[in-house]
Amino acid sequence: MVEETGSTNADLAMLVREGRAPGEGEWLVARRQTAGRGRQGRQWFDGLGNFMGSSLVLRLDGDPTPSSLSFVAALAVHDAAMQALGETANLALKWPNDVLLGGGKLSGILLEMVGHHIVVGIGVNIARAPDLPDRKTAALADHGAAPDVESFARSLADAFGARLAEWRAEGLSITLQRFLAQSIHAPGAPLRVHDGEGAPIEGRFAGLETSDGALRLRLADGSERVIRAGDVE
């Protein structure tokens, strides 16, 4: 663990480029980030007492598509948060990789490809959550006795390692099934999706693509649209 850095993702990416990549299972965790990033170029909230860390996954022959590691990461955060708060915690998953606590966004996940590695960056609101104008947020401390960063980091690393092994051994379809089992998405449920390419798209949930976890949206005319990046309302 380091006291402060710009971005744990950027630090690990630099080590990969320099030929000094740490092995799988090792994490770089910072108490403070000055240039943390989220999906779609968003800035990640730097809250004292929150978890901010990154790890590397080596791309192996036969692995599922690298982008699907976002589901692995979301399941691992869900596991670690459940361990911290207990089985009765109001936790749920939302496509593509959101972990919700009491309906509020608990974490952020960012994947970046660097050579033959995928940098997996995760931020979790442990002590406090940011006030955002466009979405509800949540922190573990608002729902129980929150763990310290060190103990949460150990729990998350263990959960990620287990989910990663499952992803490799059992395949993406099993990971997606387990993601959906903990998700807010029910077959046929209405959805509104912002895909970054114009007006929001409305339709009904039609499942996830087994090849990469893309969202299948059934439109009013009965056709389906496959969405690989976006935000769901």
**Residue 51, token pair as written in the block:** 């978890």
CATH topology of domain 2-181: BirA Bifunctional Protein; domain 2 (3.30.930)
Query: Nearest 5°: phi and psi at 85?
Result: -105, -20
User: If we measure between CA atoms, which residue out of 158, 121, 152, 124 comes closest to residue 8?
Assistant: 121
Amino acid (one-letter) located at 10: A
pLDDT, mean of residues 151-170: 97
pLDDT in tens, 27-73: 999 988 887 565 444 555 567 789 999 999 999 999 999 999 999 99
* Residue ranges matching CATH 2.30.30 in the chain: 190-232
* Residue ranges matching CATH 3.30.930.10 in the chain: 2-181
Q: What is the side-by-side strand order in the sheet with 215-218? A: 224-227, 215-218, 201-208, 190-194, 231-232
Query: Does the model's pTM come out above 0.85?
Result: yes
For position 76, what pLDDT does the model report?
A: 98
- Is the pLDDT score of 179 beyond 60? yes
pLDDT, mean of residues 179-202: 89
pLDDT band at 21 (very low <50, low <70, confident <90, very high): very high
Highest-pLDDT range among 32-41, 69-78, 130-139:
69-78
pLDDT in tens, 83-123: 999 988 899 999 999 999 999 999 999 999 999 999 999 99
For 190-232, CATH gives 2.30.30
